[in-house]
Chains A and B, each alone.
Chain A
Amino acid sequence: AQKVTQAQTEISVVEKEDVTLDCVYETRDTTYYLFWYKQPPSGELVFLIRRNSFDEQNEISGRYSWNFQKSTSSFNFTITASQVVDSAVYFCALYLRSSARQLTFGSGTQLTVLP
């Protein structure tokens, strides 16, 4: 069975600080996809990134960066120079080709960026 763990329930940082959101996943499959989503206070889900299991290259997009490490089954998300608008709940999710075609979500991390 697959599982996604986001151990950090809530994080508070002061604007301009860097912050890393942790995501640990469990699966026996060798082919899978990992996702990060942002859910701002307005409630919609904003897709941030998708990474397949064969691509361990880290990615940077503006102030966002992702560190995928298969050896530790982690897919961590770092926001550099955080801003108040980054305040949201962030979800990590796992998709397996082998099982039912569904995403398994972590429980989310509430990030609050204080001015």
Chain B
Amino acid sequence: NAGVMQNPRHLVRRRGQEARLRCSPVKGHSHVYWYRQLPEEGLKFMVYLQKENIIDESGMPKERFSAEFPKEGPSILRIQQVVRGDSAAYFCASSATGENTEAFFGQGTRLTVV
């Protein structure tokens, strides 16, 4: 669904650098979900945010990863001190109601750590 916009589409970072992935939800949607797809695998849930709040971060690695969804602006997934194992595609979805039954995803950001 073209409504969810992610950027950049491709991101290359050296080990130890920070990666910032942005997700602009469909206009009017206040719920955002981040998923990670490791090579050759399905998508795994990372975090669910509502404007200014983290609702569920049960899928987030405990260290180096953080997410926010400020009152204004896109949702940001931040990975500090990236390692090769962080190389993956990161997808974002949004919904209006908090029921992730619409489940339209952005085009994803492909992070490569070199």
Contacts and interface: CB of A to CB of B under 8 A. Distances in A.
Given A45-B91, A91-B42, A107-B42, A102 B100 contact: yes
A33 B110 CA distance: 28
22 contacts: A37-B105, A44-B108, A45-B43, A45-B108, A47-B103, A47-B104, A50-B103, A91-B43, A93-B43, A95-B100, A100-B58, A101-B31, A101-B98, A102-B45, A102-B48, A102-B100, A103-B33, A103-B35, A103-B100, A104-B45, A106-B42, A108-B41
B24 to A, nearest CB: 16
Contacts, number: 64
Count class of interface residues, chain A: 20 to 34
A81 to B, nearest CB: 27
A107 B41 contact: yes
Contacts of B98: 101
Given A43-B89, A43-B110, A91-B42, A101 B103 contact: no
* Most central of B48, B58, B100 by chain A CB within 10 Å: B100
A16 interface: no
Given A43-B89, A47-B1, A102-B48, 12 more contacts: A43-B107, A44-B107, A47-B105, A50-B101, A91-B43, A93-B103, A95-B101, A100-B56, A101-B99, A102-B100, A105-B35, A106-B42
Interface in A39-68: 43-45, 47, 50, 52
Interface of A: 33, 35, 37, 43-45, 47, 50, 52, 91, 93, 95, 97, 100-108
Interface of B: 1, 31, 33, 35, 41-45, 48, 55-56, 58-59, 89, 91, 93, 98-101, 103-105, 107-108, 110
Contacts of B91: 45
Given A50-B103, A97-B99, A107-B41, A102 B108 contact: no
A95 B93 CA distance: 13
